[in-house]
Structure 1
Amino acid sequence: MRLALAVEYDGSSFRGWQQQPGGGTVQDALQDALRQFAGVPVTVVCAGRTDAGVHALGQVVHLDTQLERSMFAWVRGANTFLPAAVAVRWAQIVADDFHARASAYSRHYRYLLINRAHRTGAWHGKAGWYHHPLDVAAMQAAADLLLGERDFSAFRAAECQAISPVKIMRRAEVRRFDDLVVFDFEASAFLHHMVRNLVGSLVAVGQGKHSPEWIAELLACGDRRLAAPTFAAAGLYLAAVRYQPHWGLPHTAATLFLPGAFDSCVTGRAG
């Protein structure tokens, strides 16, 4: 039997998603909790790996098991053994050919950036910070140039293991809520550090260092060395992973409340 689980976590104290020597990853915590619940070792496959310090509202994983329990029992059982910073939100039986990563239609990442002269206290570890005023209209004009099928080599980390740098960007939005600037990106898939590199370059546009057209130039040349530095991990969230309706995954609102606004992301069906 194959199960899909939706997982949310505060990545501040973890060494990223993927299991590695020495432990301390979200995958380690989740697999250990599932092992304690199931009584046997359990291996999970995720929809998208997150780096150290990156958070998730709607990570999706799948696992294979012979243990027959209710979906409520899987959620409650896993959460009993998980640390406070990680929680399973739902469990769902899926077809044997479902794959959390390969079956995904798109991923939605959100980056939160405090934009004011003085650093944040309440948002520490949950948002990035930039002290110079930013022109959000210019940043949005630049973000519009990211839409469609593009080669994102200029925003790809040197250690990225993706086979192809070409991805389909379906959404690229920059909005301001008082001192908070919110970046939303939805694409078929993302390269290593791609969102944080995009944010860094859009911030450079917002500060006036470059025109919005600079983003198109970076896409055309594909040279990572010419783009802005990678932005901090703290403000990045894997907001949702979307799948086509035939997989039958639940509609689940993964709401991240913003000052002055209520906005939600949906983990589950594409639409």
Structure 2
Amino acid sequence: MDERIRLRLDVSYDGTDFSGWAAQPTRRTVAGVLTELLDLVLGAGTVTGLTVAGRTDAGVHATGQVCHLDLPTEVWRQHEGRLLRRLARLLPPDVRVRAMTEVPADFDARFSATFRRYEYRVTDAPWGAEPLRRTDTLAWPKPLDLAALNAAAAGLVGEHDFAAYCRRKENATTLREVTRLDWRRDPDGILVATVQADAFCQNMVRSLVGAMLVAGDGRRPVEWPAGLLTRRERSSEVTVAPAHGLALVEVGYPADPAEYARRADLTRRLRVPVAEG
């Protein structure tokens, strides 16, 4: 059997024209584009095991996505000095591979991760989003109060059953630990929510944002988003915020590579599918 090597890829993409990360036979996806180009450059079937940290949905962006793949060591040695620049020439402009790094064989982009961090951008300017940021910033039709947004966010931090905010999957837990959830208003007036957790269930981040926004504009009390945590089914009162305001900005891993396998084993015991927020 040929000796194989594992590579970590750091990837960015504009999700506007992608039907999400996961490969689909009839749709343009990030994984599909990457696989097609790697097959073209390295040979069909040379790359195996493409695994991503967080499977983002259609329209969701990433500046800090991570995936891993395996390929024959000999092939990597032949191409490692020029593969990154070659991909830069061949990939479409809405996806970039920013780094390719050799990692231990027990590194798992999905299960070795210790956290995922997303940001959601919103403008409450009366004229809407600036034209150059229209694809990554939600235009909200009402003024938003930063203090109210942060008060609503505070009640959602910690380990909770987020069933009210998740699209439930069979045999999958909706228990998650949110380690950071806060809002800031940048100098340009844009409101940015930062949401960090060990993992997210499907639609969770955008559902949380949707609940906080109606508290931030005064239509719901600031206690309302946290009050939904008592529910054990998805709440029909929560509107999922549009995909285009969301971006995966960072995935964390143990500082010591020797911890990759232990972290992966722990994650597998704790829960099943890891999905986009």
TM-score normalized with structure 1 length: 0.86
> Structure 1 residue 81: deviation in Å?
2.1
2:206 to 196, 203, 206: 196
Question: In the superposition, relative to structure 1, how do residues 142 and 222 fare at CA in structure 2: closer, same or farther (>3 Å)?
Answer: farther
2:69 counterpart residue number: 63
1:125 corresponds to 2:135:
yes
Alignment check: 8 A CA contact 1:72 1:91 kept: no
Alignment check: 8 A CA contact 2:165 2:235 kept: no
1:64-90 per-position Cα deviation (integer Å, ceiling 9, x unaligned): 100223644332233232111111111
Moved more, 105-114 or 203-212: 203-212
User: After superposition, where does 1:36-47 map in structure 2 within 5 Å?
Assistant: 36-41=40-45, 42-43=47-48, 44-47=50-53
2:165 to 155, 161, 165: 155
Inter-partner Cα distance in structure 1 for 2:171 and 2:20? 18
CA RMSD of aligned residues (A): 1.7
Inter-partner Cα distance in structure 2 for 1:161 and 1:233? 24
1:53 corresponds to 2:63:
no
2:84 counterpart residue number: 75
> Structure 1 residue 212: deviation in Å?
1.8
2:116 to 92, 99, 107: 107
Question: In the superposition, relative to structure 1, how do residues 154 and 216 fare at CA in structure 2: closer, same or farther (>3 Å)?
Answer: same
1:98 corresponds to 2:107:
yes
2:16 counterpart residue number: 12
Paired letter, 2:214: A
Inter-partner Cα distance in structure 1 for 2:223 and 2:149? 10
> Structure 1 residue 135: deviation in Å?
1.2
1:111-154 per-position Cα deviation (integer Å, ceiling 9, x unaligned): 01111222322221111110101111011011111111111111
Identify the structure with the greater helix proportion.
2
TM-score normalized with structure 2 length: 0.84
1:86 to 76, 81, 95: 95
Percent identity over paired residues = 38
Q: Secondary structure at the match of 2:106?
A: coil
> Structure 1 residue 91: deviation in Å?
1.0
Question: In the superposition, relative to structure 1, how do residues 111 and 68 fare at CA in structure 2: closer, same or farther (>3 Å)?
Answer: same
1:206 corresponds to 2:216:
yes
1:23-82 per-position Cα deviation (integer Å, ceiling 9, x unaligned): 300111111111122123234110000111110001101001002236443322332321
> Structure 1 residue 221: deviation in Å?
1.8
How many residues align structurally?
A: 247
1:231 to 241, 257, 260: 241
* Higher relative contact order, structure no. (Cα contacts within 8 Å, ≥ 6 residues apart): 2
Inter-partner Cα distance in structure 2 for 1:35 and 1:2? 16
Inter-partner Cα distance in structure 2 for 1:199 and 1:74? 39
Inter-partner Cα distance in structure 2 for 1:229 and 1:10? 23
Structure 2 unmatched ranges of 5 or more: 259-277
> Structure 1 residue 226: deviation in Å?
4.6
Paired letter, 2:126: A
Paired letter, 1:3: L
Alignment check: 8 A CA contact 2:11 2:64 kept: yes
Question: In the superposition, relative to structure 1, how do residues 38 and 211 fare at CA in structure 2: closer, same or farther (>3 Å)?
Answer: same
Paired letter, 2:55: R
Greater Cα radius of gyration, structure 1 or 2: 2
Moved more, 27-36 or 183-192: 27-36
Alignment check: 8 A CA contact 2:208 2:225 kept: no
User: After superposition, where does 1:27-42 map in structure 2 within 5 Å?
Assistant: 27-41=31-45, 42=47
Alignment check: 8 A CA contact 1:3 1:94 kept: yes
1:2 counterpart residue number: 6
Inter-partner Cα distance in structure 1 for 2:16 and 2:23? 16
Question: In the superposition, relative to structure 1, how do residues 161 and 184 fare at CA in structure 2: closer, same or farther (>3 Å)?
Answer: farther
